Chain A
């Protein structure tokens, strides 16, 4: 479904002569229906890698193949491909000037995927599924963090994506709201949605993932099933990282 070949990405940091080399050749293959979690220390390249997958960050070297198409190619209409990749952000990024319903229906209608009536119907169904239907005409300013993130997930799902990318979806939440968001993601994952999840929630990661990638220093330092990575880490850095996080 998504295949990356030798991705490199650097950031130019103001006041520093050397650009920061964040991705140092990442090659990975995410298969259809697979749930892949990415863990690792901050600055290890997890989020950058995820954001490269839908070209929010443009890698300076390497290729990304999404459903067989090289989306790093110059002549590709990236918008068409992004419509099939949902993304959920750490800071929700719901649209504050639109109602809950408009947040969800805006993209399907604008991209001519659906008529307003069809989009409304789908929005209703999705909101009922995550328990937010009573917020239909509210503005996001009145929602809690957990509700905002559930809305953000629904907004992405309304485009009926083939894959969902989660960028630390619970990191900005108050602890008591983490559960409700993880439950929605769990439900989604169980329904067979291909997902790539950058997370610090180790328990959750263990429970839902088919495969875990440990990223450190701009490369995938280790990968395997949750059982392999959590119980028998081969790389000393993985072991060290896991010993430091509580789960």
Chain B
């Protein structure tokens, strides 16, 4: 019981650190990452599917390197590497860029598999009617691929929400950083971990519901 009364006491005193600053930073970090990650992901995906061998090789290698190395390592590289190029860059931005590039690579694969999952017969039918490649992509393939892509993109959002905890290594202020701050002040490790776990859990459950609702809506529009 002492455990929960400690939890209550911590929340009474530090709720702003957890819920305002922590959750705020996590959501900002996640949203910006997914947004720019998706945009950058489109370009990586286009490069991957283009006929140009050079673009192909660049996007393939980038994707493989990012997917083949730990995210924490990549964040370290951006955290130490970017200030060498741009000395005045804030830590938050360096970490954000790291997340964005990482996410873009995963998202580009989501796009690619979503597009490739559209039946080849759809493309053939469109081309046989005399539509050009671009019209076929925009009017026939992409509208169908979106249904495969959006739910997967929602899951990426959930994954990133949890992965942003890695940013606490650089003390950027998201939920896991608030754990470090409050634990440092109170020395109540388990209680603080419990609070943080509940916060992450609630965030991902809510996101999960939203993704589920979106999936259902996409299915009924068939």
Does A19 make an interface contact (CB < 8 A)? no
Distance, CA A91 to CA B124, complexed state (A):
11
Chain B min CB distance to A77 (Å): 9
A87 vs B126: C-alpha distance in the bound complex, in angstroms?
Answer: 10
Query: How far does the Cβ of B30 sit from chain A's closest Cβ, in whole Å?
Result: 30
A173 contacts B by Cβ under 8 Å: no
Chief secondary structure at chain B's binding surface: helix
* In the assembled complex, B203 has its CB within 8 A of some CB on chain A: no
0/1 per residue, A37-55, Cβ < 8 Å to B?
0000000000000000010
Question: What class of interface size applies to chain B in its complex with A?
Answer: 10 to 19
Decide if A111 touches B130 in the complex (CB within 8 Å). yes
- Using known A-B contacts A54-B128, A87-B128, determine if residue A93 contacts B122 with beta carbons closer than 8 Å: yes
Contact of A95 among B122, B128, B132, B135 (CB under 8 A): B122
Binary CB contact string for chain A from 98 to 134 against chain B (1 if under 8 A, 0 otherwise): 0000000011001100000000000000000000000
Within 8 Å of chain A (Cβ to Cβ): is B144?
yes
Of residues 116 to 159 in B, which have CB atoms within 8 Å of A's CB atoms? 119, 121-122, 124-132, 135, 139-140, 143-144, 147
Q: Is residue B2 contacting chain A, with contact meaning CB distance below 8 A?
A: no
- The smallest C-beta distance from A193 to any residue of chain B, in angstroms, reads 16
- The complex places the Cα of A159 from the Cα of B139 at a distance, in Å, of 17
Contact, CB under 8 Å: B144 / A97: yes
Binary interface profile of A, 12-44, with partner B (CB < 8 Å = 1, else 0)? 000000000000000000000000000000000
7 extra interchain contacts, Cβ-Cβ under 8 A, other than A86-B128, A96-B222? A56-B128, A83-B130, A93-B119, A97-B143, A111-B131, A139-B222, A155-B129
